[in-house]
């Protein structure tokens, strides 16, 4: 566990020191939230209905901006070889990197979402479901994204391929996440949150093993 914490703190410090990944994701998230209402117009009812789906899509795309560096920086400077040879299991190292990515990207996006929802005239009943769905679902974005990052670390311009690999796998999270907000606004039974929770839990539990296998494959090659 001490090795997990050490790697987690290291990645948090690097993300904070670099300043680019998390800040760029937040800036992109805010830009999309500002541009969509400008493009759609002043139909407040329409904006309120689509708020959950638009913010979820924007959050997923924003999180993808920093995923290509999850393993790439360590791969380029040789640190990844040392991490793979360390006593700490590579699966545990992958879990630490996933956690660091969520803390520096997914969590800030979640906390920013209520402010951006004001631009969409989201009804009051939708704020808690929006926050809850992003808090539950964004760990799955980091987890599944880590698999794609592990698969593309040895590919030149792998950051361009990563979204194509990851986005289809993240479609259930977007569907269920937007469904949580939509059901709350419609006053319907909110079963989508349980589907989102199950999807996110499965992703978080399985992704470290898949990401570690992908990293080993690239290091062996």
pLDDT higher than 70, residue 206:
yes
Query: What DSSP designation does 178 have?
Result: H
Burial class (CB in 10 A: 0-12, 13-18, 19+), 89: middle
Query: What DSSP designation does 189 have?
Result: -
Percent of the chain scoring above 90 in pLDDT: 49
Q: Sorting pLDDT into bands at 50, 70 and 90, what band is 158?
A: low
pLDDT higher than 70, residue 189:
no
Mean pLDDT of 73-80: 82
* The pLDDT of residue 172: 95
* The pLDDT of residue 56: 95
Burial class (CB in 10 A: 0-12, 13-18, 19+), 167: middle
pLDDT higher than 60, residue 102:
yes
Q: Sorting pLDDT into bands at 50, 70 and 90, what band is 132?
A: very high
Please answer whether residues 26 and 56 qualify as being in contact, where contact means their C-beta atoms are separated by less than 8 angstroms: no
- Alpha helices, DSSP H only, in 20-43? 21-40
Domain ranges of the chain: 2-220
């Amino acid at each position: 566990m001490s090795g997990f914490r050490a790697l987690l703190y290291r990645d948090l410090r690097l993300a904070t020191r670099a300043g680019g990944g998390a800040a760029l994701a937040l800036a992109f998230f805010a830009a999309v939230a500002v541009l969509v209402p400008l493009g759609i117009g002043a139909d407040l009812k329409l904006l309120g209905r689509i708020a959950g789906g638009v913010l979820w899509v924007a959050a997923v795309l924003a999180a993808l901006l920093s995923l290509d560096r999850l393993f790439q920086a360590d791969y380029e400077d040789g640190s990844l070889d040392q991490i793979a040879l360390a006593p700490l299991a590579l699966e545990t190292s992958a879990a630490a990197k996933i956690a660091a990515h969520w803390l520096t990207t997914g969590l800030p996006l979640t906390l920013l979402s209520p402010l951006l929802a004001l631009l969409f005239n989201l009804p009051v009943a939708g704020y808690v479901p929006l926050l809850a769905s992003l808090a539950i679902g964004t760990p799955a974005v980091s987890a599944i994204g880590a698999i794609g990052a592990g698969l593309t670390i040895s590919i030149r311009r792998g950051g361009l391929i990563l979204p194509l690999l990851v986005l289809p796998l993240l479609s259930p999270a977007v569907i269920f996440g937007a469904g949580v907000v939509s059901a709350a606004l419609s006053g319907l039974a909110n079963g989508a949150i349980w589907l989102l929770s199950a999807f996110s839990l499965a992703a978080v539990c399985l992704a470290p093993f898949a990401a570690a296998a992908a990293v080993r494959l690239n290091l062996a090659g």
